Amino acid sequence: MINQLLHRDPVPVDREKHRHLKLNLPVTDWSVASRLNAIFVAAAEFGDACREYPIVFVRAGEGDDGKPQIAPIVVLGLKQEDNLYVEGVVWRTPYIPAVLRSYPFGIARLNMERFAVCVDAAWPGLSESEGQPLFLEDGQPSPLFEATQKQLETVENEVQRTRNACQRLLDLDVLRDMRFDATMPDGRKHMVDGFMTVDDSKMLTLPDATVGDLHRQGILGLVHAHWVSMGNMRRLLDWHIQRHGAAATPAG
């Protein structure tokens, strides 16, 4: 999954072009992600992510069948291109979303059936003299590259599972648009919108059989993790105040 605010120069990994490429891993300088104010999070991550981040849903265009889609994201900042989870070069919380843990790699879709493993050519950790090689001397993929491919394939599989869960929520019409407001002491408003949450009142009207089905599918657990995660908006607001030097109080 390629994100333009993270992968500044994604290029497909090529056996000949990158024969001697090495990577200084793990990533320790997270300033590369300082412009991300949100990023995709898979359903399998909700249990870990809900402890650290607000998890919300956003509209994600249409699927191959023409139906509207939504995707879950973790909110990283309260304004564009401002990642409050990055302080200098440090990521401030223990859990880092899977898409970020794959960096500097990502998967790009070439067409309906073909994907390519890409590497961010702009990442300063690339070298031909130091680090872990992408390819062995005989040109075969290195253990690093093989492990990376498996990791990215796992993420892509989780993307599909997450799409299915989100489609179920859409079909049940239990999502609603939401806005987060904060009022500054001088009266200025700070607003974050464009996202959706699961409406608890709509969930309460679902038939018992449907709720049981959601539980068996693991979707009910995702909804509860999403609700728990919204408490982390307070943390984001506190960090926003610390970084931008203005006090604020939630307005609703």
**pLDDT tens, 39-92?**
999 999 999 999 999 999 999 887 777 788 999 999 999 989 999 999 999 999
| Ranges of each domain in the chain | 10-246
Q: Confirm if 155 and 40 have CB atoms less than 8 A apart.
A: no
Q: Confirm if 182 and 251 have CB atoms less than 8 A apart.
A: yes
DSSP per residue, 102-130? TTTEEEEE-SSS-EEEEEETT-TTEESSS
pTM to 2 decimals?
A: 0.89
**pLDDT tens, 161-219?**
999 999 999 999 999 998 877 665 556 676 778 899 999 999 999 999 999 999 999 99
Instruction: Say how far apart CA 129 and CA 131 lie, in whole Å.
Output: 7
Q: What are phi and psi of 231, to 5 degrees?
A: -65, -20
H or E element in which residue 249 lies:
strand 249-250
